[in-house]
Amino acid sequence: MGSGGTEVEKFSLRKAYAEALLELGRRRKNVVVLDADLALSTQTARFGKAFPGRFFDMGIAEADMIDTAVGLALTGKLVFVSTFAMFAVGKPWEQIRNSAAYSGVHLNIVATHSGISVGEDGSSHQCIEDMALVRIIPDTTVIAPADDIATHELITMLADYEGLTYTRLTRPNLPRVYKEGERFEIGKVKVLSKGKDVTIVATGSMVWSSLQAAQMLDADGISAGVIDAFTVKPLDEKPVLAAAKKTSLVVTAEEHTTTGGLGEAVAALLSENHPTRLLRIGVADRFGESGTCSELLDAFGLTPAGIYDKIKKALKK
């Protein structure tokens, strides 16, 4: 974690996804799941084992998979599609745009292995553009859960949602931000703490790290609040603006390029409504590379210490 603390227990988002799918599959006969030859990694294979008639491995053909999913949705199926983020959005972007979103069907794309924490596989497998790619398409929803509890709850809620939804999960397990039983509402953020000096708006894997960074800042007498933007689109504007009005610096933190994702969504919101100094923490216009997950997060400053350092530096300016 980079802050030198004792090892925290971490939990799998993929496992939480698979379990939520199994529960949905048991409750609703119309749940259908598709994967593109990564079902063991994404853990959708567990759904396939339990409901073989409602699981289709589409092979290594993501464009075909997305459009097949749209066809299934048009026959009344509640469809979840999974593969790694790079292949879930990057390859079939036009299928997502023209067939899924434009047709207005309810289709849920749940990608695992987002961001640089994918690690050793290197940049070809480290998708840092996925949220931007989906966010720019009209009528889409972008979700990045902070832990396994949020993943389970949000996936379950997607069953009664509508339109094209994109949920990004991480490969590594993450420490828990929430306790069992926490409730979420898609389209909202969660204000985890209120700050007087700094507001950190974080998403996905960066929520826990931001909470740690806020504690470190607190020890220095700097009051930083943390907002979990588990829905990146549509962005829940009111609480973000309210927090910005009370702090002189707003920080965004995401395991994603600083272009087109949460950072730019918050930048647009602030500059149009309440111009506030903004620091975007993420991957700044560069590719990832091979390494262990913690080496990469350290190198990119996407750790509690990295976030703390960047905020301290910004406050000195």
Partner 1 sequence: MKRFDFPKDGPPQKLIDTLVKKSKEIRRQILVMLSAANSGHTGGSLSATDILTALYYHVMSHKPDEPHWPERDRFVLSKGHAAPALYAILADCGYFGKEHLKTLRRFGSLLQGHPCFCTPGVEVCTGSLGHGLSLANGMALGNRIDEKTSEIYVLLGDGECQEGQVWEAAMSAGHYKLGNLTAIVDKNGLQIDGTTKDVMDIDPIDDKFRAFGWQVLVIDGHDFRQLLSAFRFAVQERCCPTAIIANTVKGKGVSFMENNLEFHGRAPTEEELKWALAELK
User: Judged by CB under 8 A, does residue 64 bind partner 1?
Assistant: yes
Chain centroid offset of residue 143 CA: 5
* Nearest Cα to Cα of residue 46 among 75, 12, 18, 71: 18
Q: Which two tokens stand for residue 135?
A: 């966010």
User: Judged by CB under 8 A, does residue 53 bind partner 1?
Assistant: yes
User: Judged by CB under 8 A, does residue 265 bind partner 1?
Assistant: no
Tell the smallest beta-carbon distance from residue 30 to partner 1 (Å).
8
User: Judged by CB under 8 A, does residue 63 bind partner 1?
Assistant: yes
Which lies closer to partner 1 via its Cβ, residue 105 or residue 118?
A: 105
Cα distance from N-terminal residue to C-terminal residue, the chain: 27
Which lies closer to partner 1 via its Cβ, residue 5 or residue 104?
A: 104
3-class secondary-structure state, position 174: strand
4: Cβ contacts below 8 Å, ≥ 6 apart: none
- From the list 19, 62, 129, 264, the catalytic residue is 62
User: Judged by CB under 8 A, does residue 104 bind partner 1?
Assistant: yes
Out of 14, 46, 77, 125, name the contact with partner 1 by CB under 8 A: 77
Cis ω for the linkage preceding 234 (within 30 of 0): yes
Which lies closer to partner 1 via its Cβ, residue 52 or residue 221?
A: 52
* Nearest Cα to Cα of residue 18 among 62, 59, 51: 51
The answer to whether 243 touches 278, Cβ cutoff 8 Å, is no
Q: Is 272 a catalytic residue?
A: no
Which lies closer to partner 1 via its Cβ, residue 103 or residue 273?
A: 103
Stretch of 95-103, 111-119, 180-188, 269-277 lying at the interface with partner 1 (CB under 8 A): 95-103
* Nearest Cα to Cα of residue 176 among 208, 144, 209, 143: 208
User: Judged by CB under 8 A, does residue 106 bind partner 1?
Assistant: no
Subset of residues 24 to 43 that bind partner 1, contact rule: CB under 8 A: 32
Which lies closer to partner 1 via its Cβ, residue 45 or residue 61?
A: 61
Out of 22, 45, 50, 61, name the contact with partner 1 by CB under 8 A: 61
Which lies closer to partner 1 via its Cβ, residue 48 or residue 261?
A: 48
Tell the smallest beta-carbon distance from residue 231 to partner 1 (Å).
25
User: Judged by CB under 8 A, does residue 137 bind partner 1?
Assistant: no
User: Judged by CB under 8 A, does residue 68 bind partner 1?
Assistant: yes
Tally: H helices and E strands in the chain: 13, 14
- Alpha carbon separation from 225 to 196, 199, 217 (Å, rounded): 7, 5, 10
User: Judged by CB under 8 A, does residue 103 bind partner 1?
Assistant: yes
94: Cβ contacts below 8 Å, ≥ 6 apart: 63
Rounded-to-integer distance, Cα 197 and Cα 243, Å = 10
User: Judged by CB under 8 A, does residue 275 bind partner 1?
Assistant: no
Stretch of 41-49, 74-82, 226-234, 306-314 lying at the interface with partner 1 (CB under 8 A): 74-82
* Nearest Cα to Cα of residue 308 among 253, 255, 267: 253
Active site residues: 62
Binding region for partner 1 (CB under 8 A): 32, 53-54, 56, 58-59, 61, 63-77, 94-95, 98-99, 102-104
